[in-house]
Amino acid sequence: MLNLLNQHRTIRKYTEQPIDPQVLAQLFEAACRTSNTGNMQAYSIVSTTDKKLKEQLAPAHFNQPMITQAPVVLTFCADYNRFSKWCEQRQADPGYDNFQSFMATAIDTLLAAQTFCIAAESIGLGICYLGTTTYNAREIINTLKLPRLVVPITTITVGYPAEMPEQTDRLPLNAVVHYETYHDFTPTDIDQLYAEKESSEFYKQFVAENNKETLAQVFTDIRYSRKNNEFFSDKFLKVLKEQGFLSASNQQ
């Protein structure tokens, strides 16, 4: 089991083999067993296999080929719509149109998504997370017809692997784990933690190909730039308002 987790790789190329709907349902059942806030199960999984719909979703994911190539595209959504409808039908006032409720449902959505991925990998499927979901949530909402109080949080493409890529590197454990309280990093700590990554031939080539001086600049200038992050921040906050998760009182 730990071995399975330690062997994780993101799979971006899939064979043409479809996923048996009953197999997929088993994986959804496992995902739904995940811990969740108050057992409200305030999330939804939209499972898209239709070619035309996948093509409509693709631009929201910057046309990354996995979306159209994977047999199944799963959009995991924070969802207080179902629960709120139930409350309204039961003489109860659903107070979930606010940011704290968004956080609770987003947390539950992501925990279920990761259980799904581990379940999928345990039976030989490959998965890829798409971080583009929060960038272009508005377009995904339109394509998948998501109602108020439903917001897509992450997307997973799933299929049988047609590649076995090298594992990506990870920082030393002491970059991530702090004992007792947080121990902030000195400049020397930072140099030590990133030394292995920065000295690897793979990343040296990556820096050269991108015409940058340092690996960090590839992130800040190209991959995750301030300008883009700020643009997509405003866009996603607008979506949260439109979908009902940021009420007037939250806007301060």
Using CB under 8 A as the binding rule, the residues of this chain from 54 to 83 that contact a copy of itself are 77, 81-83
Q: Residue 43 in contact with residue 109, Cβ under 8 Å?
A: yes
Residue numbers 73-132 binding a copy of itself by CB under 8 A: 77, 81-83, 85-87, 89-96, 98-101, 103-104, 106-107, 110-111, 113-115, 117-119, 122-123, 127-129, 131
The verdict on 44 binding a copy of itself (CB under 8 A) reads: yes
Sign of CA dihedral 135, 225, 209, 6: negative
Question: In the numeric block, which tokens belong to residue 100?
Answer: 């704290």
Task: Quote the least distance from Cβ 45 to a copy of itself, whole Å.
Answer: 5
Calculate the alpha carbon distances from 15 to 103, 131, 161 in Å.
36, 23, 6
Q: Of 176, 199, 201, 209, which one interacts with a copy of itself (CB under 8 A)? A: 176
Q: Are 84 and 96 in contact (CB under 8 A)?
A: yes
Does 248 contact a copy of itself by CB under 8 A?
A: no
For residue 168, the 8-state DSSP code is P
The site for a copy of itself, by CB under 8 A, has a size of: 124
Q: Nearest-5° angle of CA 108, CA 174, CA 3?
A: 60
Nearer to a copy of itself, 63 or 202 (CB): 202
Q: Which is nearer to a copy of itself, 16 or 39 (CB)?
A: 39
